[in-house]
Amino acid sequence: MKYIPGGVCAPKGFKAAGMHCGVRKNRSKKDIALIFCDTKCSAAAVYTTNKVYGAPITVTRENISDGTARAVICNSGNANTANADGVEKARAMCELTAKALGIEPGDVIVASTGVIGQSLDLEPIAYGISELPKLLSEKGGNDAAQAIMTTDTKVKEISFETEIGGKPVRFGAIAKGSGMIHPNMATMLSFITTDAAVTAPMIQKALKAVVDDTYNMITVDGDTSTNDMVSVMASGLAENPLIDGEGEDFEAFKAALREIGEYMAPMIAGDGEGATKLLICDVNGAKDKAAAKTIARSVIASALVKAAMFGADANCGRVLCAMGYSGAEFDPDTVGVWFESEAGRIQVCENGCGLAFDEELAKNVLLKDKITIEIELRQGEASARAWGCDLTYDYVKINGDYRT
């Protein structure tokens, strides 16, 4: 895969824009984003599993039930969730966008992120939507990426070109996510564009498989958000043979989506609210994939493990404890645990028992900003990876006054 600039605008047919419209008080923060395609796209999405979900999810589900879309409109600063008029306002956002672009309201993917339970003021949204079409550009991907951020500290975007069916095909993506992140579906928004020719059902099939192994393997704080969404729009302008079933081209398409997921997952996890370290948990030798994933997610979600990593404390007991209550089937008596970073690798557990180790080396390993917790179960061939971050004082500070 050849990495190229452009973000969501890298694939043929796409333009984007982002600006400050007034949803957020801080005028230096962009708060509304638009992605638009010159042609109707095949479209699919996956959503949060939280039973309390945002009004934009209700409306987006309706709009792309026919497998097509042309635009994404997304605001930050207000989640438009738990509001009596939320669906009405989400639909209004689609109608305003459609009118501004000369398309149908049903061709709009709508998303919101920010504070839950506060009524969304449509006045600044309407102003933003009226201005965004004037700003649409093939260089607007980064502005859109900035506009969907909330407590994020880093812009998250990627774009690359690969080959499918003998044709060069481009992919681009942006994402946001920093807090209220936990698997199913990890709290975040991610918008993916491609010029691949592919049907909506095949996008859905590939996206579900990729999300299960990437976006759904992130956790920051154990809270599953109300507004999570990953959507894909495919313009078909690459003119590759239409992907309408499984086969080599479908696998290549899925591999490209996986590349995006595997890039975004650590980006989101490492940018967790207050985080100072990216944590990776690799589980190997499990009886099956489900057990490996369950253990990896349990360890990476443990508040005690996260706190130990923040304090550079090589405490294998916390790792074993999190494995034990995960619910996965494994034999503790065969487990080995290592901590690894650019400073080195140190084993802290063998056959389920703690080992004596060089405390100074362990501290140096855990002081780095990227740490891998490696777990060997020695009970099978399955493996899984999960991503997370440390738990710091700043996480409490950020969320203690998030709304006020």
- Give the Cα separation of 143 and 16 in Å (integer): 8
226 is catalytic: no
Query: Left (φ > 0), alpha (ψ -120 to 50) or beta: where does 166 sit?
Result: left
Burial class (CB in 10 A: 0-12, 13-18, 19+), 304: middle
Q: Are strands 189-194 and 229-234 parallel, antiparallel or unpaired?
A: parallel
Catalytic residue among 48, 60, 151, 187: 187
Gyration radius from the chain CA atoms:
22
Structure tokens at 142: 């980064």
Structure tokens at 338: 């290592």
Q: Which of 149, 114, 127, 131 is nearest to 268 (CA)?
A: 149
- Give the Cα separation of 310 and 282 in Å (integer): 19
User: Letter for the amino acid at 245?
Assistant: G
- Give the Cα separation of 392 and 276 in Å (integer): 8
Active-site positions?
187
